[in-house]
Structure 1
Amino acid sequence: MSLLEVDDVVVQFGGVTAVDHASFTAEAGRITGLIGPNGAGKTTCFNVISGLQRPNHGTVRFDGRTITRLPVHRRARRGMGRTFQRLEAFGSLTVRDNVRVARDIARGLGGLVRPAAADVDGLLERVGIAAYADERADSIPTGTARLLELARCLASHPKLLLLDEPSSGLDESETDAFGVLLAQLAAEGRAILMVEHDMDLVMSVCDDIHVLDFGRVIASGPPAEVRANPQVQQAYLGYSDVDDPAAGPDDTTVLEAVR
């Protein structure tokens, strides 16, 4: 059984259907990509999963239980952690204190009894931003802030990580290191569901990929299979190799078109 199951979810805003009977899963110990053109409904799906958006139809199950109507904080308590496309750090706090707040909330009363400084510094070290521990969060580079959000998520020991464009702002070497970190986190038994526009990263680290277009899942499978799918190519560039065998771009270039 999948750790996360999104089943036949529909989200409508007035007369606009943002998510159209979407179904997909995320498995423990695997990295799953959720990709698609801008406006395809990816972040709306994340909002449904995390509890920020109630669907008009459909079901969300997490760790064997239906959570479709469960509030956000109770989903977090059950082991769900999320980062956002728009950075949500406490700008006036240091990087260390941002993670300390998350760690203390996760520990509840236990956080008042035993200081979490060692745990916090260990998390900063793990995501590679220990050098920024004493900097204010609103003064650090965007890529570093993305890693700060990941460290805050990890402070609650989540079973599922929902990462919304986590590599945005990272340079090439930082993205490579981030890919290694994701693989390590998945190997520890976490499920990772990632919305990402860096197709090199998606294709290199994801075990499974689901592709959204106009709110519908148009393809699911391993990276090589999805990359070669004519419907996916059509969604990204408006044509596929099947339509035009002489079109030219290789599969990776086709999927790098979305930014």
Structure 2
Amino acid sequence: MAKKILEVVGLYKYFGGLAAVSGLDFYLEEGEILGLIGPNGSGKTTVFNLIAGSLKPDRGKIYFYDKDISAKSPATICQMGIGRTFQIPLPFSRLTVLENVRLARLYGSQPARTLKDAEYEADEILEFIGLKSKRTNISGNLTILDRKRLELGKALATRPKLLLLDEILGGLTPREIEDAMELIKAIKATGVTMIIVEHVMKAIIGISDRVIVLNSGIKIAEGPPKKVILEDSVIEAYLGKGKYVKN
């Protein structure tokens, strides 16, 4: 039986009088890829910010390997083994690709012991994500695809046990999406557990073991991706009530 890596219990987050996340409960098992989907403004990125420590819940708890991380700092959570990417990649634009990943290897759950070790391990990561040939390129000059890959490389450099991927496929071409999906599968094969926020349904169906759907901060569906995306409540959440007529 797979071990539970993450558990979210009764999670609430308010901004003013608006509940961005409302009574959210879910769990995640080791080795699983969980898709977190929903229309814009449904609370997906807020959930990531709560798990990663950028925001603190108003109510509820978040457990990582049975340890309460609800009030811990982003740095501590990263050191415990939770890494993340951001919707808009923001590398250190004046540093090279290698320098960005090397810097990330000095932090996280298992930091490199020396700068030399960090560089060696950064090169291994660049090879894995397909950026080895661009290791000396200035990060600010990268294409969207390569910035996304670098964002992923920096997250992997922290040696996460759990990786939060926030719209890593956004802005990519269909072929680039296929390549990125294969990379995500390769990451899973290394034993990393993932939660993926994504609008590309082909990817969600193709790589997720299970899907949770949020709407206005509330979980409205959960289960196998091919089944969940056909539920009436999910279709209505995306199209709007009254615009969807079931045949």
Q: Tell me, yes or no, whether TM beats 0.5.
A: yes
2:105 to 95, 103, 106: 103
Q: What is aligned with 2:154?
A: 152
Any stretches of 5+ residues in structure 2 without a counterpart? none
CA positional deviation for 1:175:
1.3
Aligned residues: 244
**Contact 1:103/1:111 (8 A) holds in 2:** no
CA positional deviation for 1:180:
1.4
CA positional deviation for 1:172:
1.8
Q: Distance in 1 between matches of 2:75 and 2:167?
A: 22
Query: TM-score when scaled to structure 1?
Result: 0.89
Map 1:67-86 to 2 at 5 A. Answer: 67-86=69-88
Q: Render the CA deviation track for 1:50-79: whole Å, top value 9, x for unaligned.
A: 001111101100112111111111111110
Q: Distance in 2 between matches of 1:230 and 1:169?
A: 28
CA positional deviation for 1:242:
8.3
Map 1:35-114 to 2 at 5 A. Answer: 35-106=37-108, 108=111, 110-112=113-115, 114=116
Counterpart of 1:176, as a letter, is E
Q: Percent identity?
A: 37
Q: What is aligned with 2:184?
A: 182
Any stretches of 5+ residues in structure 1 without a counterpart? 246-259
**Contact 1:143/1:168 (8 A) holds in 2:** no
**Other structure's SS at 1:3 match:** strand
Counterpart of 1:111, as a letter, is T
**Contact 1:7/1:59 (8 A) holds in 2:** yes
Q: Distance in 1 between matches of 2:29 and 2:187?
A: 13
Q: Distance in 1 between matches of 2:129 and 2:237?
A: 34
38-47 or 2-11, which deviates more:
2-11
Q: Distance in 2 between matches of 1:229 and 1:118?
A: 48
**Other structure's SS at 1:138 match:** helix
Distance 1:14 1:185, change over 3 A: same
Counterpart of 2:114, as a letter, is G
CA positional deviation for 1:187:
2.4
Distance 1:241 1:190, change over 3 A: farther
127-136 or 7-16, which deviates more:
127-136
Distance 1:15 1:221, change over 3 A: same
Distance 1:125 1:97, change over 3 A: same
Counterpart of 1:195, as a letter, is V
Q: Distance in 2 between matches of 1:65 and 1:135?
A: 40
Q: Distance in 2 between matches of 1:109 and 1:194?
A: 27
**Other structure's SS at 2:107 match:** helix
**Contact 1:124/1:133 (8 A) holds in 2:** yes
Q: Distance in 2 between matches of 1:177 and 1:240?
A: 37
**Other structure's SS at 1:168 match:** coil
Counterpart of 1:181, as a letter, is L
Q: Distance in 1 between matches of 2:182 and 2:19?
A: 36
Q: Distance in 1 between matches of 2:60 and 2:167?
A: 25
Q: What is aligned with 1:28?
A: 30
Q: Distance in 1 between matches of 2:96 and 2:244?
A: 53
200-209 or 231-240, which deviates more:
231-240
Q: Distance in 2 between matches of 1:76 and 1:105?
A: 8
Counterpart of 2:174, as a letter, is E
Q: Distance in 1 between matches of 2:179 and 2:10?
A: 35
Counterpart of 1:3, as a letter, is I
1:192 to 191, 194, 205: 194
1:117 to 110, 115, 119: 119
Counterpart of 1:86, as a letter, is I
Distance 1:220 1:199, change over 3 A: same
Q: Distance in 1 between matches of 2:185 and 2:143?
A: 24
Counterpart of 2:45, as a letter, is T
Q: Render the CA deviation track for 1:107-141: whole Å, top value 9, x for unaligned.
A: 557124x4333311111111112232111111101
**Other structure's SS at 2:26 match:** strand
